[in-house]
Chain A
């Protein structure tokens, strides 16, 4: 069975620049819970990042049935994945692939850093990467 995944890309000042869900089986009302968990995990992400030099910080927190995996890019952007199944390899690969395209987006002079990502092709590519690693429901 495929798990549910909520992904958030967080920029400076803790602003979510991009949020997307894969195989979300839960009600839409649960969105706020995913946001609360993802936002809260930023503290633990920072604490973990101080202790390691790796970008992929693995699972930084847990809340009920949700696991929170995180990735800190060298530029300081934070990737958070809230998921209900342990799937470390897929999450790591997903983060790495998203980091590749995120890097390219950051190099785009027309992208406003720390602005909400509205670039459609970026969104589509993130969805495609998610589709590759987490499959469809």
Chain B
């Protein structure tokens, strides 16, 4: 049968047979509901193999020889009417449901597209059938005519004669038009003057008389020759319920009208075959032979003209030929011969002659004819198959279309698209064909552009250019939309969706979805429209405002039929951001994120210690932690449901994000789930602006019979506040919450698995202890070393006892919890491996417990957290018998550091006492609050040393504000022999905690009550944790005890001024000294005074003198420095006061300046001056030499001088 393309060309360019019918014959045919051309059309193709002879007499086969019937009487259709008819084809394309799937698959795309475009074929065929024919389109000119008369005619022979006359007239008119070189198209042209005329007598078997028919037919044969006369018997009786398919179905759907049965159809087939073999083919053969000879002769003449020189110069005389006068040029005759060959299926010969014609016509500058010939070269090459088809000229169509467009012959260009491009498609030149289709842009109707763009898209698809297919589909959709053919526009946009969906080209995808939605909505495809709109909205890249309102309208419309709530993907609810907190804990605001996660982990560690303690050292294997007891969110571990009491209220916060460009209005928002509960929402209306997130708070109240509550989804009524009258849609959305990524098993690591997240599941217990914990007035900002005393209250508001309660915290030695006031014995230091654990026993139902505690602020200046865990084994009476823990975490910021340092000054040699110079210093630049402080007491833990003067307070006490404070004290050797003892104990049946107690020497001065707290901190020693198997207690303490250090406990009080007001506080600093002598030669710190004028004392720190020889004289140098750039300073130094006010640690001893009592000098800018003076010591001791005054420019305020301590010892005593 050949390919689709071959069939198409065979039918389109088959020999044209003109039908000229009498009225009665048209009536006979009309009884079947058909026109005369429609009547013959289905049988136009002769399916049997026929034969013909070429001009050289060679026999060759004709397969599927097809005739092209046309009614000569038909008047041309007006242009507007044809346009309307063509538009109707596209408008009614929705009825065409033919499917022809084309599958495309590669690593990126997997498409299955319906490529059938029956409306295109119908448009093409209708256009070609009804458009006028140009004189140069000779292959479509009438080559043979049939005059048709029925046997019902009163005078059939007379009718035949009159029809013959009409035919002759028409042919003459047409011939004249061609002769006068009219180039306008017309309804009919005749191929040549010698047209084959046949006579057909139609006989209606039912109505006509058979005898008359026979008689007329005999007469007909006799008059016009037997080979030209045909009798066709029709209308035998109709289908009579036969199941055979109706051959005329494409023209008229009313099958009941058909009077022709199978026998009649066979008769028609036989008639067409007889006509072909008896009349048409012989006529074509005859015509072609004649034309062939003419062409040969004219060519010969042509050659002889060019060989005239040969003749002139005595060449052999050529044979004189008879010159025939032709109205046509030889090029046209060649073209006509090509056409005949084409009709006789001599495609190779045809291609050859078309090619020659094209060349010659081009030379003649007959562009229309030449272009047409070039097209037929391509078509003939395609039809010939084999090697010629392989050499198909792919540029032929482009050439033809461009030429016709340049010649402003748009209708011819259109014909090229409908003919030559079909050949291009037939040879698989998809990309070239697609490009040629896209040449139709300006000057063509939107319909035609849309149709051609669609064809181009499909060509690209078949060429595997999938992205071009997508793009051209969008353009075709756009053009169809412009011309109002929405079904086809939608089809093209849908094709494009497959190309763009989910590939990241979001703006393009949005555009396609939006238009697909809009078109679907217009065409009443509400489900499709909803889907497209939903896809557009879910892209979240800025949809048109109308899309959302349309979407809601569609959802509401569809909902009427579904009857249930729909699941909308809007607004966006990120399940992982849902937070849950019990109302009774809702005041403890804890931030989310890593800090909460690490807090939970820290609390769980503390809980584990409690658990061990509560269970005699071993954590039960069945234990499952309940921390965090009060909340669940994305930072907590939600592997277990939250245990709540039936009296609890659960607060759930659901963040709702509006990703759209419209504002959203939600009403009747509630949570839906399993179990007995009610959900309340305080927000009656939730308005969320575009691109904003709003957190909707819900309260869950467990019902009386609640056991397990599981929140699954949220329901709401949604609309937009942007436009009035927008549909309100009832919708629900399920929560999708994923737990942690699993990686324990190999299976988990190979794939991607997530744990379940139970944050929205609650286990409700009717009777259970309800523990809570609170701390009174704990300030958030403390000074380093500050000791704060407050109370912690623990309450059980449940109706069951909380058994075996333990308290644990993370500030080992810095937090002391005691159940009552217990005096601290400073000579006993207690250390423990779990120092923070406190046993509370049972807390009965509806009771509370208050514990006092001392908190010492940590030494480092940073944010510290105080974590406290209250653990209980739960209640044996309750149903679950599970343990429960409550936690509390407080942030403590250490805002300032007081750095205590000790300088040990050697006392006079031989003296038993030693001098300690103690500095208190605030690191001023880091101190973030205003503070002044003073020392109030001193204690010392040492086995060798004791405070010597315990009754007097420390000297030099004064309020110091952000500066350094310095004072001296004396230590003496212990008079009591060293008695230390260590006791050791282990807690629990299976040991979980080891405790050690040690007796030490402690001496103190001043009111040092508080200093007795936190003495264990002064011992840097870690007690090892016991193992249950370890029954040998080793006294580690004693091992390291030999090299024990000296600890100085300094108590201070301070006044702290912060933004909230001032606060009195007390604190403790501990200084460890490895050895008193090791600090003796520490260098003096540089003077902190950075005044423009400074004074330093340059003198030895230590002098040995034999006092038996007299008082000691020491030379000193006072260095004065002026750093002003251009200011001279008058300085006055006065040494007179020093004599009486000598500082001495021993009051009865003094020293005296002996050089000057007063000195005045002028210090130039940026200069230094040295003033030398002598000081005399009468007795050994430790002295401060900075007790003289330096005043500037007669100002009364003296300069602040750096302290200079000198120790004078007697070297004479041995």
Q: By the criterion CB–CB under 8 Å, are A16 and B505 in contact?
A: yes
Q: By the criterion CB–CB under 8 Å, are A36 and B503 in contact?
A: no
Question: Shortest distance in angstroms between A69's beta carbon and chain B's nearest beta carbon?
Answer: 17
Chain A residues positioned under 8 Å from B505 (CB to CB)? 16, 35-36, 39
Chain A residues positioned under 8 Å from B468 (CB to CB)? 40, 43-44
Q: Which of A12, A28, A34, A43 contacts B466 (CB 8 A)?
A: A43
How far, in whole Å, are A44 and B107 apart by their CA atoms in the complex?
Answer: 18
Q: By the criterion CB–CB under 8 Å, are B466 and A32 in contact?
A: no
Q: In this assembly, does B696 line the interface, its C-beta being within 8 Å of a C-beta of chain A?
A: no
Q: In this assembly, does A106 line the interface, its C-beta being within 8 Å of a C-beta of chain B?
A: no
- Name A1-24 residues within 8 Å CB distance of B: 12-16
Q: In this assembly, does B1192 line the interface, its C-beta being within 8 Å of a C-beta of chain A?
A: no
Q: In this assembly, does B283 line the interface, its C-beta being within 8 Å of a C-beta of chain A?
A: no
Q: Known: A32-B510, A36-B508, A43-B465. Is A15-B503 also a contact (CB below 8 A)?
A: yes
Q: Which of A13, A16, A35, A116 contacts B108 (CB 8 A)?
A: A13
Interface size class of A (residues with CB under 8 A): 10 to 19
Give the most central of A12, A16, A34, A116: most B CB within 10 Å: A16
Give the most central of A12, A13, A39, A44: most B CB within 10 Å: A39
Provide the A97-133 mask, 1 if CB < 8 A to any CB of B, else 0.
0000000000000000000100000000000000000
- Name B752-791 residues within 8 Å CB distance of A: none
How far, in whole Å, are A42 and B465 apart by their CA atoms in the complex?
Answer: 9
- Name A26-49 residues within 8 Å CB distance of B: 28, 31-32, 34-37, 39-44
- Name B443-472 residues within 8 Å CB distance of A: 460, 465-468, 470-472
Question: Shortest distance in angstroms between A65's beta carbon and chain B's nearest beta carbon?
Answer: 14
Chain A residues positioned under 8 Å from B542 (CB to CB)? 28
Question: Shortest distance in angstroms between B424's beta carbon and chain A's nearest beta carbon?
Answer: 18
Q: In this assembly, does B507 line the interface, its C-beta being within 8 Å of a C-beta of chain A?
A: yes
Question: Shortest distance in angstroms between B751's beta carbon and chain A's nearest beta carbon?
Answer: 19
Question: Shortest distance in angstroms between B114's beta carbon and chain A's nearest beta carbon?
Answer: 21
Q: By the criterion CB–CB under 8 Å, are B507 and A43 in contact?
A: no
Q: By the criterion CB–CB under 8 Å, are A13 and B471 in contact?
A: no
- Name B75-110 residues within 8 Å CB distance of A: 107-108
How far, in whole Å, are A81 and B472 apart by their CA atoms in the complex?
Answer: 20
Q: In this assembly, does B511 line the interface, its C-beta being within 8 Å of a C-beta of chain A?
A: yes
How far, in whole Å, are A116 and B503 apart by their CA atoms in the complex?
Answer: 11
Q: Known: A13-B107, A13-B108. Is A39-B511 also a contact (CB below 8 A)?
A: no
Question: Shortest distance in angstroms between B1017's beta carbon and chain A's nearest beta carbon?
Answer: 45
- Name B480-529 residues within 8 Å CB distance of A: 500, 503-508, 510-511
Question: Shortest distance in angstroms between A50's beta carbon and chain B's nearest beta carbon?
Answer: 13
Q: By the criterion CB–CB under 8 Å, are B460 and A15 in contact?
A: no
Q: Which of B470, B504, B510 contacts A40 (CB 8 A)?
A: B470
Chain B residues positioned under 8 Å from A16 (CB to CB)? 504-505
Q: By the criterion CB–CB under 8 Å, are A39 and B500 in contact?
A: yes
Q: By the criterion CB–CB under 8 Å, are B510 and A15 in contact?
A: no
Q: In this assembly, does B357 line the interface, its C-beta being within 8 Å of a C-beta of chain A?
A: no
Q: By the criterion CB–CB under 8 Å, are B508 and A32 in contact?
A: yes
Q: By the criterion CB–CB under 8 Å, are B471 and A40 in contact?
A: yes
Q: In this assembly, does B938 line the interface, its C-beta being within 8 Å of a C-beta of chain A?
A: no
Q: Do most interface residues of chain A lie in helix, strand or loop, or is the interface mixed?
A: helix
Q: Which of B470, B504, B507, B508 contacts A116 (CB 8 A)?
A: B504
Chain B residues positioned under 8 Å from A12 (CB to CB)? 108
Q: Known: A31-B507, A32-B507, A43-B460. Is A14-B465 also a contact (CB below 8 A)?
A: no
Who on chain A is nearest to B108 by CB? A13
Q: By the criterion CB–CB under 8 Å, are A15 and B504 in contact?
A: yes
Chain B residues positioned under 8 Å from A31 (CB to CB)? 507
Q: In this assembly, does B642 line the interface, its C-beta being within 8 Å of a C-beta of chain A?
A: no
Q: Known: A37-B471, A39-B470. Is A32-B465 also a contact (CB below 8 A)?
A: no
Q: In this assembly, does B474 line the interface, its C-beta being within 8 Å of a C-beta of chain A?
A: yes
Who on chain B is nearest to A43 by CB? B465
Q: Which of A28, A35, A43 contacts B508 (CB 8 A)?
A: A35
Who on chain B is nearest to A16 by CB? B504
Chain A residues positioned under 8 Å from B107 (CB to CB)? 13
- Tell me how many residue pairs across A and B have CB atoms closer than 8 Å: 51
Question: Shortest distance in angstroms between B675's beta carbon and chain A's nearest beta carbon?
Answer: 42
Question: Shortest distance in angstroms between A15's beta carbon and chain B's nearest beta carbon?
Answer: 4
Q: Known: A13-B108, A15-B503. Is A39-B471 also a contact (CB below 8 A)?
A: yes
Interface size class of B (residues with CB under 8 A): 20 to 34
Who on chain B is nearest to A64 by CB? B441
Who on chain B is nearest to A35 by CB? B508
Chain B residues positioned under 8 Å from A32 (CB to CB)? 507-508, 510-511
Question: Shortest distance in angstroms between A68's beta carbon and chain B's nearest beta carbon?
Answer: 11
Q: By the criterion CB–CB under 8 Å, are A42 and B467 in contact?
A: yes
Q: By the criterion CB–CB under 8 Å, are A13 and B503 in contact?
A: yes
How far, in whole Å, are A76 and B71 apart by their CA atoms in the complex?
Answer: 62
Chain A residues positioned under 8 Å from B466 (CB to CB)? 43
How far, in whole Å, are A40 and B496 apart by their CA atoms in the complex?
Answer: 11
Who on chain B is nearest to A11 by CB? B504
How far, in whole Å, are A39 and B471 apart by their CA atoms in the complex?
Answer: 8
Chain B residues positioned under 8 Å from A42 (CB to CB)? 467
Q: Which of B460, B472, B503, B511 contacts A14 (CB 8 A)?
A: B503
Chain B residues positioned under 8 Å from A44 (CB to CB)? 465, 468
Q: By the criterion CB–CB under 8 Å, are B108 and A14 in contact?
A: yes
Chain B residues positioned under 8 Å from A34 (CB to CB)? 507
Q: By the criterion CB–CB under 8 Å, are A39 and B465 in contact?
A: no
How far, in whole Å, are A32 and B512 apart by their CA atoms in the complex?
Answer: 9
Who on chain B is nearest to A34 by CB? B507
Question: Shortest distance in angstroms between B517's beta carbon and chain A's nearest beta carbon?
Answer: 15
How far, in whole Å, are A43 and B471 apart by their CA atoms in the complex?
Answer: 11
- Name B525-577 residues within 8 Å CB distance of A: 542
Question: Shortest distance in angstroms between A9's beta carbon and chain B's nearest beta carbon?
Answer: 11
Question: Shortest distance in angstroms between A42's beta carbon and chain B's nearest beta carbon?
Answer: 5
How far, in whole Å, are A34 and B471 apart by their CA atoms in the complex?
Answer: 11
How far, in whole Å, are A60 and B467 apart by their CA atoms in the complex?
Answer: 14
Chain B residues positioned under 8 Å from A14 (CB to CB)? 108, 467, 503
Question: Shortest distance in angstroms between A67's beta carbon and chain B's nearest beta carbon?
Answer: 16
Chain A residues positioned under 8 Å from B503 (CB to CB)? 13-15, 39
Q: By the criterion CB–CB under 8 Å, are A43 and B504 in contact?
A: no
Chain B residues positioned under 8 Å from A13 (CB to CB)? 107-108, 503
Q: By the criterion CB–CB under 8 Å, are B508 and A39 in contact?
A: yes
Chain B residues positioned under 8 Å from A28 (CB to CB)? 542
Who on chain A is nearest to B472 by CB? A40
Who on chain A is nearest to B506 by CB? A35
Q: Known: A13-B107, A43-B460. Is A35-B467 also a contact (CB below 8 A)?
A: no
How far, in whole Å, are A37 and B474 apart by their CA atoms in the complex?
Answer: 11
How far, in whole Å, are A12 and B542 apart by their CA atoms in the complex?
Answer: 26
How far, in whole Å, are A37 and B505 apart by their CA atoms in the complex?
Answer: 11
Give the most central of B108, B471, B474: most A CB within 10 Å: B471
How far, in whole Å, are A40 and B473 apart by their CA atoms in the complex?
Answer: 11
Question: Shortest distance in angstroms between A45's beta carbon and chain B's nearest beta carbon?
Answer: 9
Question: Shortest distance in angstroms between A70's beta carbon and chain B's nearest beta carbon?
Answer: 13
Who on chain A is nearest to B109 by CB? A14
Question: Shortest distance in angstroms between B466's beta carbon and chain A's nearest beta carbon?
Answer: 7
Give the most central of B107, B460, B506: most A CB within 10 Å: B506
How far, in whole Å, are A16 and B508 apart by their CA atoms in the complex?
Answer: 12
How far, in whole Å, are A116 and B510 apart by their CA atoms in the complex?
Answer: 18
How far, in whole Å, are A43 and B460 apart by their CA atoms in the complex?
Answer: 10
- Name B834-848 residues within 8 Å CB distance of A: none
- Name B1101-1119 residues within 8 Å CB distance of A: none
10 nearest A-B pairs in the assembled complex, by CB-CB distance = A40-B471, A32-B507, A35-B508, A32-B511, A43-B465, A31-B507, A15-B504, A35-B505, A13-B108, A43-B468
25 A-B pairs within 8 Å (CB atoms) are namely: A13-B108, A14-B503, A15-B503, A16-B504, A16-B505, A28-B542, A32-B510, A32-B511, A34-B507, A35-B508, A36-B508, A36-B511, A39-B470, A39-B471, A39-B500, A39-B503, A39-B505, A39-B508, A40-B468, A42-B467, A43-B465, A43-B466, A43-B467, A44-B468, A116-B504
Residues of A within 8 A of B (CB): 12-16, 28, 31-32, 34-37, 39-44, 116
Known: A36-B508, A42-B467. 11 other contacts (CB 8 A): A12-B108, A16-B504, A28-B542, A32-B507, A32-B511, A36-B470, A36-B505, A39-B470, A39-B500, A43-B465, A43-B468
